[in-house]
Chains A and B, each alone.
Chain A
Amino acid sequence: MRRKSAKSPQNIADYTLILFAFFWMALIIFLPLASVLFNAFKGGVSKYLETFADPDAMDALKLTLLVTAIVLPLNIVFGIASAWAITRFEFVGKTILLSIIDLPFSLSPVISGLVWVLMFGAQGWFGEFLQAHDIDVIYALPGIVLATLLVTLPFVARELIPLMDDNGTDEEVAAVTLGASGWDVFFRITLPNIKWALLYGVLLCMARAMGEFGAVSVVSGHIRGLTNTLPLHIEVAYNEYNTIGAFGAATILVGLAFVTLAIKTILEWRYADELSAQHRH
């Protein structure tokens, strides 16, 4: 099968299409990015740097990093375990399990936060029990972690499942037949084969965990210095007309988005064969 190769633009129609694509990207993607930088530096560099001296902003950044540090390892364990179970064994209900793993992708972030309030809020399923035992879930760290977990659950699994399915089981079966233990097989054969896809999934998961707004907003209660994550701090600052503070904090997350896209693009170019087929360019 032969495919049409990309060509240089030749006539007016070609140039119009390309120019329109550039125009649209400038309008929809680049303009908002420029606006963040413009507003962050509106009062000069020193005003911008004051953002990083604001204790509320720094507490928010610390909380965001803490939540991410809790969520990432859990997602890695789930991603590897689910991919191992789904691609290495046959069992009843696999298709349903796959759809459930995908489900958080199609949930509104606000719903992903709401469900935890319905479980652990004052009038939730376990509300009375938690109150009686003085345990805080909603408006506290556990709620933020649970909401972030729900939102990010599919990220690592969705990278590993198609790849491990493609790779097949020959190498692992051979190793087991030759007497290797399960962990040996995993660390010496499976992990080296999936390491770049794992990194890819972890990267997307991290970006989402650090940037999640809707789900966290519902369960956080916006308590300054305690339950405000960086995206929530941005909201509070913006609503208080602290433009430089809001956009200054936003530059941290814009930087994160750039790093994410850069590493993602590098992985897609360099290790295309070791990612699942959907990311091969």
Chain B
Amino acid sequence: MPAEISSQDGFIAPKAFRRTRVIPGFTMSLGITIFFVSVIVIIPLLALLMRPWENGFSGFIDTLFDKRVFAALKISFLCSLLAALVNLFVGVLIAWVLVRYDFPGKKLVDAFIDMPFALPTAVSGIALSAIYAPNGWIGGFFDDFGIKIAYSPIGIFIALVFIGLPFIVRSVQPVLSELEAEVEEAAETLGASPLQTFNHVILPAIMPALLSGFSLAFARGMGEYGSVIFIAGNIPYVSEIAPLLIVVKLEEYDYAGAASVGIGMLMISFAILFALNLTQRYFAKKGL
């Protein structure tokens, strides 16, 4: 790649240049940056972090383990986890197809992978709801068998599968297309079946990208609102998601409760992120 060669062989301004600040604008650019970051991100997040403790630490714990809140956190957690797992398999498969095969319509499929990012969540929400409602195209079919998709956790799961797909595909696709052909061919020459080659050569190589895509999809699922609330039906204890409870608490002017639910959601997301980090390190140690 020409870009690599030029940055290796060409002249790069030594770091000393950056430190002596030959280029002007340090104070102004950093000033603007810190102003925006403080006003838009840091101070508002401090407001979130400081709010739940109004009724002491026990108030915070009581909110999280309140039956309705706990049920919502559990539903959000399980649906996000399941949806991210499904996307793990399907995402790798689609990334594989896009990288390894030539077929008509490939560029179109590739461009449309990003549709869940580009489509406003409220639009995805009402569209999915219309399809999977008991009188919808797919919902009607399953309704004949007595299976409810919309207004049940299955609906939440489907919305999160929709929203999570691009995260896995876009994490894995670049790594897959940069794999060295020699390693795979060596495995094939030594008599490995395609499945063995995939499991022992390709999977370890894409594992870090896979795990980071998984955690992004999961975190997005935990916090997703617009595409879920229409199809979920929002029945307390059954199909109510955690973000909706923030809205419910705010409507009751229970600011501390809303902030507690928000922090509970963030804690779950960080816990998963942390667990995946450990997993990644474990795989790295095993030399996988």
Contacts and interface: CB of A to CB of B under 8 A. Distances in A.
21 contacts: A7-B102, A8-B103, A17-B93, A18-B101, A29-B113, A35-B130, A36-B123, A106-B269, A108-B265, A109-B223, A109-B224, A109-B243, A111-B48, A114-B250, A121-B250, A173-B23, A207-B118, A217-B225, A238-B129, A264-B114, A273-B3
B42 interface: yes
Given A85-B29, A146-B40, A211-B122, A108 B262 contact: yes
Interface string A191-232: 000000000000000010011111001100000000000011
A1 B22 contact: no
Nearest to A2: B181
- Residue of A89, A116, A121 contacting most chain B CB atoms (<10 Å): A89
A236 B178 CA distance: 47
B74 interface: no
B127 A213 contact: no
Given A115-B45, A118-B47, A257-B120, A90 B126 contact: no
Nearest to B2: A273
B23 A176 contact: yes
B265 A88 contact: no
B13 A169 contact: yes
Interface string B147-160: 00000000000000
Given A110-B223, A169-B17, A14 B101 contact: yes
B184 to A, nearest CB: 7
Nearest to B245: A110
Contacts of B11: 170
A166 B7 contact: yes
A153 B97 contact: no
A137 to B, nearest CB: 12
Contacts of A86: 33
Interface residues of A, number: 107
Interface stretch (B62-70, B252-260, B280-288): B252-260
Contacts of B96: 17
A81 B118 contact: no
Contacts of A253: 119-120, 122-123
Contact of A261 (B10, B111, B130): B111
B253 A176 contact: no
A272 B220 CA distance: 28
A250 B247 contact: no
A52 interface: no
Interface in A163-179: 166, 168-170, 172-173, 176-177
Q: Is the interface of A mostly helix, strand, loop or mixed?
A: helix
A41 to B, nearest CB: 13
Interface in B1-41: 3, 7, 10-13, 15, 17-19, 21-26, 28-30, 32-34, 36-37, 40-41
B122 A89 contact: no
B115 A117 contact: no
Contacts of A2: 180-182
Given A100-B37, A109-B223, A111-B265, A173 B13 contact: yes
A84 B29 contact: yes
A81 B269 contact: no
B19 A100 contact: no
B47 A214 contact: no
A103 interface: yes
Interface string B82-105: 000000001001101111111101
Given A77-B32, A211-B122, A18 B7 contact: no
Contacts of A106: 219, 223, 269
Contacts of A235: 122, 126, 230
Contact of A90 (B18, B120, B250): B18
A123 interface: yes
B237 interface: no
Interface in B119-165: 119-131, 136-138, 161-162, 165
A252 to B, nearest CB: 9
Contact of A119 (B32, B37, B47, B165): B47
Contacts of A122: 253
Nearest to A210: B120
In this complex, the member of B24, B101, B118, B246 whose beta carbon has the largest number of chain A beta carbons within 10 angstroms is B118
Given A3-B177, A146-B40, A261-B115, 7 more contacts: A100-B37, A110-B246, A118-B259, A211-B122, A214-B243, A247-B130, A250-B127
A87 to B, nearest CB: 9
B102 A8 contact: yes
Interface centre among A116, A118, A153 (most CB of B within 10 A): A118
Interface string A1-18: 111101111000110011
Given A18-B101, A35-B131, A250-B126, A211 B121 contact: yes
B19 A90 contact: yes
Contacts of A17: 93, 96-97, 101
A18 B41 contact: no
Nearest to B12: A168
